[in-house]
Structure formats: structure tokens, C-alpha cells
């Protein structure tokens, strides 16, 4: 596998063209499932590393793990996973990514960055590709500092009253060029809403303006960064996918993932025979 240095040297040596880079912000502390990113019952591979290997299957030019954890950094170094050391105190993953792109030193404003949460070990590489393809639309090439792309899927009945599931409200359902404008996000049940899939794509120009954003009082109630972006006059566009993999927030979700992982491994071994 390529090391972080090799990746950066390769990117710097090429004539500039818009790059597509996945960054996986990885914070080792977690409340509901302590140290979940380092759980490794699935083949001895930690959760965040499973996420990395899934992201590597996408068409992105490079994938990095961004973390302040010495434990995660050590694992990355031993296993050839490109990583970036960040400060410990970040209010969210987007903030950590904003620091990361400056440390990469070769990121231009028109480069497209995809934020993949580290606790998504079964993320579909096609979900990442969907955002990358969307970023190439002419509609999103103007005022790159004001656009964010994300994904939604149909909202199930059991998720409607679950505050852990963020709901997205759209301006319509035309999905022109594959995306529709999102006008609000909430943890509450609201009619005509969609399940917001927590993956984002933004141009580096957007990330470089985050420090200038204000935080209106009305955006603090639900602790959702996307509401703050809307309050700062950014446009969020959502692409629709039919289903999405569940992230890991609880012991039950992790054990279910481990069971699926071993089942898939066994199936692949039987097919080889």
C-alpha cells in the first residue's frame, strides 16, 4: 500500500486537475460504545480500518484517516494506511477535515473532499462515487465555497421517531442532475422527510471558509452542523440512494456487523472452492 508521503509526492508531481479525496475523521472517544473504532472482532481489523478499505474501493484519488489518536495513528503506520495527525479538540468531523486539507499542502480550492464517518465499516463505495460524480456537474462548479453535497434514503417507519436518525426536508423531488436542494434537517419526526445519510462532499473552498461562519442561537438546539451551514447561506444538495449501511453506535449494531462480516467471508471462501 502507498504511504502518506508517497501519495502526497504523486499528487504534487501531477499537473493540477481537480482531485477527489476521501478523508475519514476518526475520534477514538465515544459515549454509547466506548472505543468503538478500535473494536476488532471482524478479522482482527478495527472498525475505522474496515471503513478505510471500503472507501478505497471507490473512484477517489486518495483516502486518508485524520485523527489525534496515537493508537489509531500507530495502527495506520503498521498497516500502510495514509493518516494525518490533527489536533484533539474539534467540534465535528468537518472541522477536523478542514485542518487536514491544510496539512496535506497540495489541496486546491476546486478539489473535492468526501467526508466518510469512521464508524461506517460497510459503507458502499458507490455512495462515495455518487458524490464525486455529482461534484462534476456544471451546476456545482460555480461558487464552490457555497455548496455541500450529501445523500438521503427513504425513511423507514421505525426511524421516524428515533432522534439518532437525522431527517432531511427537500425543496422538491425532481432530483435534477441527480440531486435536490435540502432546506432543513432535524432529529424530530416531520412529514415528507427523508433519512439523511451522514456522508458529505464539499470543495476545499467551502472548508476554508468555515472559520468565518457565525453560529446563530437557533442552530444550537439540535447540534447539527448542516443547520448551521444553511444559516450561513450555503446550499446543500442531496442525492437519493435506495438504502444505506448502518453505522456503529451500539454493541448490538457492532455484533450484527461482525456476524455479517464472518458470513460474507465464509461465503467467499466457499465460492473459491
Question: Residues 79-107: pLDDT tens digits?
Answer: 999 999 999 999 899 999 999 999 998 89
- Per residue in 39-86, pLDDT (tens digit) is 999 999 999 999 999 999 999 999 999 999 999 999 999 999 999 999
CA angle, 209 as apex, 196 and 193 as ends, to 5°? 15
Q: Give the C-alpha distances (Å, rounded to integers) separating 261 from 32, 123, 220.
A: 22, 13, 38
Q: Is the dihedral of CA 131, 248, 33, 155 positive or negative?
A: positive
**Once rounded to an integer, what is the mean pLDDT over residues 198-215?**
94
**Once rounded to an integer, what is the mean pLDDT over residues 158-174?**
92
- Per residue in 126-145, pLDDT (tens digit) is 999 999 999 998 777 777 88
Residue 254 CA to its chain's centroid (Å) = 19
Between residues 154 and 243, which one has the greater pLDDT? 154
Cα separation of the two ends of the chain = 28
What contacts 191, CB < 8 A, 6 or more positions away?
Answer: none
Instruction: Please state, rounded to an integer, the average pLDDT across all residues of the chain.
Output: 91
pTM: 0.91
Closest C-alpha among 209, 196, 123, 115 to residue 162 = 196
On the question of pLDDT at 273 being above 90, the answer is no
Closest C-alpha among 71, 10, 94 to residue 85 = 71
Lowest mean pLDDT among 53-57, 165-169, 245-249, 257-261: 245-249
**Nine-digit cell string for 172:** 422538491
Q: What is the pLDDT of residue 1?
A: 46
Amino acid at each position: 500500500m502507498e504511504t502518506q508521503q508517497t501519495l502526497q509526492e504523486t499528487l504534487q508531481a501531477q499537473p493540477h486537475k481537480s482531485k477527489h479525496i476521501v478523508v475519514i475523521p476518526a475520534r477514538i472517544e465515544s459515549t454509547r460504545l466506548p472505543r468503538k473504532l478500535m473494536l476488532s472482532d471482524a478479522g482482527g481489523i478495527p472498525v475505522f480500518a474496515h471503513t478505510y478499505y471500503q472507501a478505497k474501493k471507490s473512484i477517489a484519488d486518495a483516502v486518508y484517516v485524520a485523527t489525534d489518536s496515537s493508537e489509531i495513528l500507530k495502527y495506520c503506520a503498521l498497516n500502510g494506511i495514509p493518516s494525518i495527525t490533527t489536533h484533539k479538540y474539534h467540534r465535528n468531523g468537518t472541522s477536523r477535515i478542514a485542518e487536514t486539507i491544510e496539512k496535506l499542502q497540495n489541496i486546491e480550492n476546486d478539489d473535492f473532499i468526501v467526508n466518510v464517518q469512521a464508524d461506517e465499516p460497510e459503507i458502499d463505495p458507490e455512495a462515495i462515487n455518487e458524490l464525486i460524480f455529482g461534484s462534476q456537474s456544471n451546476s456545482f462548479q460555480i461558487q464552490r465555497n457555497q455548496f455541500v453535497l450529501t445523500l438521503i434514503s427513504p425513511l423507514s417507519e421505525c426511524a421516524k421517531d428515533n432522534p439518532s436518525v437525522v431527517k432531511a426536508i427537500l425543496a422538491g423531488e425532481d432530483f435534477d442532475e441527480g440531486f435536490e436542494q435540502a432546506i432543513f434537517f432535524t432529529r424530530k419526526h416531520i412529514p415528507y422527510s427523508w433519512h439523511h445519510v451522514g456522508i458529505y462532499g464539499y470543495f476545499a473552498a467551502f472548508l476554508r471558509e468555515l472559520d468565518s461562519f457565525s453560529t446563530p442561537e437557533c442552530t444550537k438546539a439540535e447540534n447539527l452542523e448542516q443547520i448551521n451551514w444553511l444559516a450561513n447561506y450555503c446550499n446543500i444538495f442531496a442525492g437519493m440512494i435506495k438504502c444505506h449501511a448502518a453505522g456503529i453506535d451500539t454493541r448490538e449494531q457492532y455484533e450484527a456487523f461482525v456476524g455479517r462480516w464472518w458470513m460474507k467471508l465464509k461465503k467467499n471462501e466457499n465460492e473459491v472452492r
